[in-house]
Amino acid sequence: MARGVRAWGCAALLILALSTMATLAPAQEAPAPAVLVADEIEVTRDRRLIARGNVEAFQGNTRVTAQAIEYNPDTGGLTITGPIILDDGAGTRILASQAELSNDLQDGLLSGARLVLNEQLQLSSVQMNRVGGRYTQLYKSAVTSCHICEGDTRPPLWQIRARRVVHDQEEGQLYFDDAQLRIRNIPVFYLPRLRLPDPTQERTTGFLFPEIRSNSLLGTGFAVPYFITLGDHRDLTLTPYLANNTKTLEFRYRQAFQRGRIILQGAFSDDQLQPNDSRGYFFGAGEFELNRDFVLQFDFEAVSDDAYLSDYSYAGKDRLDSQIQINRTRRDEFIRLSYINFKSLRDDEDEDVLPSDVIEALYERRFFPSLIGGELRLTAAAHAHERPSSVDTDANGDGVVDGRDLVRFNVDAEWLRTYQMGGLQMQTQLGLAGDVIRVSDDSVFDDGDSGLAPMAGLTLRYPMVRASAGGVRQFIEPIAQIGWIGGDGLSVPNEESTRVEFDEGNLLSLSRFPATDRRERGWAVAFGGTWARLDPDGWSASLTLGQIVRQEEQIDFSDTTGLSGTTSDFLLAGQLEFDAGLAVSGRTLFNESFDVSKAEVRGDWSNDRLNVGGSYIWINEDTDIDLDSPIGELTFDGGIKIDRFWSANVDWRYDLELGRAATAAAGLTYTNECVRVGLSINRSFADSTTIEPSTSLGLTVSLRGFAADTGEQVVTRSCGKQAK
């Protein structure tokens, strides 16, 4: 019976809508007719249509549900009895108790109304007007994104009370008259006029929520960001920062192009730390796709003085590097050309004697010749660096590098082929390298040197695998390599290979210097092995052990590299992983007497609520690399989800040799559906003549509902005992 009534009601309304359209002038475009369905529909003698019981009205994408709807053909209006739910299909929903609307549902008056935007922001009012389907005007309104339970008389965590609120649905803006920000119904801020974006907006011009900052050097102050949209692909953020000892303007500019993007950021300050100097910094970066698969990348960094970045906690860098680079990466080819400028912020480094300007070029190509098989690799490289000083290195007779400049050219040709002989894998390697190095402003090394370096290598592997019940697999692979590099070592200074690392990545390299300004010479044998255990349902582990024996000592390897002398230290590296979330990895170098030159260990553990990690690093003293005392350091970092709303994180670094912390930081965050509050503290224990120890406090508050959905999972407080 109900189905027949609803079908009859639709037909009656359709006839009524057609008769209404016939009264319109021919030149006017008639709106799409509204359609009603209900449990009961009545047409009175004066042609009024009354629908009662589970009423639904549709007009375009707009949908209304109510208890009763009355249509007046004389006025073309609808009288709706609630509870009413009006949904426009675009994220806007209106709830009301009574309404008088036009037949297209775009204009009218609603009583006891509540507007919900994008399922985030709620606007409650005594009375609401809709105009043209674009503007919604609310009187005596309260706005919040906090979840409000039915029958709960307690005020929300925050709300904005206003005499009038206008929502411009087309522009996605909210306009407030006589606005009050209230925390638990206590007024804390008043503005006669206020404009805020609605949740549908991704980018719009306006103020962002302020941040409270407290710094032991700068004092306590406020930072108030102002975001400016400059079209669909550009924006600018200006942030005045005022504190007891500083007046600062921060900025950030971003622009996206069809084939790239740039970002510029910086700050300008007038403070009491250096009252007679203007201070600031300027960082920029960009990336662009060029023709023929080339990519242009650049970044530049500039600062007014050595302590500025540390004083304001903008960055923890003690050396700045500005770079412009063009590169292309293809399957069998790589090209790179770059220029780098370095600037030191360390008080114990002289800028004039550091290689501040560096130019590098690299071309790599590989071929697979069918005639001889295997793989042929060709490499051409060039490097040049210059120091601002022009003083000859030997001028003072103290061996200190003052003005030395260097230019290097290298060409390498290498052929590799792998043979399989049963379970034995044999890889051969033949090559020839040419090196040319020119030195200036250094009479000790005259003009430089050049030479050829033929090379050969043979690597043997015998991998063995054993599988057992449960899917557990064990892998053992003994390895051995004999290698040779001929030619005489070049008589040039060690400018690029001053820091050498020995690890499982270069155990089987013919030369372990990080740059080609020098190469290992003579015969060498590397041997060792790898063991691994893989358990899909339990724990997994791997272990690598290796050592190198040479025909002759390489004088450019210092003691802490583990490669000095004719016999290297033992290299031991491994990792351990458990399904429960624990992972440990480590690496160490030790000699036959078990004297350790380097060691590092890193451990991490995580689950649904907790993630913690820590590391230990130790390096023995080495005067050859200006390390007069050992380096020992402990680090710890972690985060915990205290409950559904609270989370905390810590970061700590401790210097074992100095016996004190180097840096420490902690943060506490509260997040729910309507607010995000973050409290942070950072402590820097600086030991420098230009940088002072400092402590920074930060407080940020963000009211949810006035920004686009970021995709972050947000917990909504529930009205019952269970979380939503």
Does the pLDDT value for residue 362 go beyond 70? yes
DSSP label at residue 372:
T
Whole-number pLDDT of residue 398:
56
Give the mean pLDDT of 3-7.
Answer: 39
Which segment of 245-259, 522-536, 679-693 scores lowest on mean pLDDT?
Answer: 679-693
| 127 lies in some domain | yes
| 465 lies in some domain | no
d(CA 316, CA 667): 18
| 63 lies in some domain | yes
Whole-number pLDDT of residue 346:
87
**pLDDT tens by residue, 582-635:** 999 999 999 999 999 999 999 999 998 999 999 999 999 988 888 888 999 999
- Best-predicted range by mean pLDDT (127-131, 138-142, 524-528, 653-657): 524-528
Length of the chain: 724
**Among residues of the chain, what percentage have pLDDT more than 70?**
90
**Of 71, 126, 127, 74, which is closest to residue 104 (Cα–Cα)?**
71
Does the pLDDT value for residue 718 go beyond 70? no
**pLDDT tens by residue, 27-63:** 444 555 667 788 888 888 888 888 888 888 777 777 8
The residues, any chain, with a CB within 8 Å of residue 205's CB and separated by 6 or more, are 227, 228, 229
Task: Identify whether residues 175 and 195 lie together within a single domain.
Answer: yes
CB 330 within 8 A of CB 295: no
Confidence of residue 710 (pLDDT cuts 50, 70, 90): very low
Output the CA–CA distances (angstroms, integers) from residue 178 to 140, 156, 160, 173, 192, in the order listed: 10, 19, 10, 16, 4
- Best-predicted range by mean pLDDT (131-145, 285-299, 554-568): 285-299
Residue keyed to tokens 């050049």: 450
Total number of domains in the chain: 2
Per the prediction, the chain carries an average pLDDT of 87
Whole-number pLDDT of residue 24:
34
Does the pLDDT value for residue 14 go beyond 50? no
d(CA 311, CA 273): 9
* Pairwise pLDDT comparison (381 vs 145), residue with the higher score: 381
HSE-up (13 A, CA, CB side) for residue 128: 30
Which segment of 197-201, 371-375, 545-549 scores lowest on mean pLDDT?
Answer: 197-201
CB 493 within 8 A of CB 439: yes
Which segment of 208-217, 280-289, 498-507 scores lowest on mean pLDDT?
Answer: 208-217
Structure tokens at 626: 């200006």
Q: Where are the beta strands (DSSP E) in 145-278?
A: 158-168, 173-183, 186-197, 206-207, 211-215, 219-223, 226-229, 234-243, 246-257, 260-271
CA-based torsion, 49, 52, 58, 63: positive or negative: positive
* Pairwise pLDDT comparison (715 vs 691), residue with the higher score: 691
Output the CA–CA distances (angstroms, integers) from residue 281 to 275, 284, 306, 565, in the order listed: 17, 10, 10, 47
Task: Identify whether residues 100 and 174 lie together within a single domain.
Answer: no
Whole-number pLDDT of residue 4:
37
Whole-number pLDDT of residue 570:
96
| 101 lies in some domain | yes
| 265 lies in some domain | no
Task: Identify whether residues 74 and 150 lie together within a single domain.
Answer: no
Residue 353 backbone dihedrals phi, psi, to 5 degrees: -110, 10
Structure tokens at 26: 């021919």
CB 631 within 8 A of CB 612: no
The residues, any chain, with a CB within 8 Å of residue 593's CB and separated by 6 or more, are none
Look at strands 173-183 and 539-550 and give their pairing: unpaired
Neighbours of 420 (CB within 10 A): 8
Give the mean pLDDT of 95-119.
Answer: 84
| 446 lies in some domain | no
Whole-number pLDDT of residue 73:
85
Task: Identify whether residues 143 and 164 lie together within a single domain.
Answer: yes
Give the mean pLDDT of 171-186.
Answer: 90
d(CA 613, CA 537): 23
Which segment of 173-182, 194-203, 516-525, 590-599 scores lowest on mean pLDDT?
Answer: 194-203
Neighbours of 548 (CB within 10 A): 25
> What's the CA angle centered on 307, arms 301 and 312, to 5 degrees?
85
CB 551 within 8 A of CB 594: no
Task: Identify whether residues 55 and 137 lie together within a single domain.
Answer: no
Domain end point (choices 201, 224, 248): 201
Coil/strand/helix, residue 490: coil
Task: Identify whether residues 103 and 135 lie together within a single domain.
Answer: no
CA-based torsion, 37, 39, 43, 48: positive or negative: negative
d(CA 192, CA 180): 9
Structure tokens at 580: 């429960």
Domain end point (choices 201, 228, 257): 201
Does the pLDDT value for residue 2 go beyond 70? no
DSSP label at residue 12:
H
Task: Identify whether residues 17 and 123 lie together within a single domain.
Answer: no
Task: Identify whether residues 126 and 175 lie together within a single domain.
Answer: yes
d(CA 221, CA 698): 10
Task: Identify whether residues 123 and 106 lie together within a single domain.
Answer: no
d(CA 575, CA 556): 31
d(CA 47, CA 167): 35
The residues, any chain, with a CB within 8 Å of residue 630's CB and separated by 6 or more, are 618, 619, 620, 621, 657
Output the CA–CA distances (angstroms, integers) from residue 104 to 30, 77, 131, 604, in the order listed: 10, 9, 11, 61
Whole-number pLDDT of residue 397:
55
Please, is 501 exposed, middle or buried when counting C-beta atoms within 10 Å of its C-beta (0-12, 13-18, 19+)?
Answer: middle
Residue 647 backbone dihedrals phi, psi, to 5 degrees: -145, 155
| 439 lies in some domain | no
Domain end point (choices 201, 232, 260): 201
Residue 561 backbone dihedrals phi, psi, to 5 degrees: -70, -20
| 68 lies in some domain | yes
> 70 is in which domain, residue-wise?
1-111
Whole-number pLDDT of residue 26:
41
CA-based torsion, 506, 512, 517, 521: positive or negative: negative
CB 70 within 8 A of CB 41: no
Which segment of 11-25, 132-146, 315-329, 595-609 scores lowest on mean pLDDT?
Answer: 11-25
Whole-number pLDDT of residue 595:
92
Give the mean pLDDT of 143-158.
Answer: 81
CB 434 within 8 A of CB 452: yes
CA-based torsion, 462, 468, 471, 472: positive or negative: negative
Structure tokens at 211: 């941040």
The residues, any chain, with a CB within 8 Å of residue 397's CB and separated by 6 or more, are none
Task: Identify whether residues 21 and 103 lie together within a single domain.
Answer: yes
Task: Identify whether residues 24 and 72 lie together within a single domain.
Answer: yes
Does the pLDDT value for residue 317 go beyond 80? yes
H or E segment at 337? Answer: strand 333-344
CB 497 within 8 A of CB 446: no
Does the pLDDT value for residue 649 go beyond 70? yes
Measure the CA dihedral 199/204/209/215, to 10°.
140
Whole-number pLDDT of residue 378:
97
Please report, as a single letter, which amino acid is at residue 234: R
**pLDDT tens by residue, 402-424:** 889 999 999 999 999 999 998 99
Task: Identify whether residues 4 and 105 lie together within a single domain.
Answer: yes
Whole-number pLDDT of residue 9:
43
Which segment of 162-176, 258-272, 321-335 scores lowest on mean pLDDT?
Answer: 162-176
d(CA 532, CA 550): 28
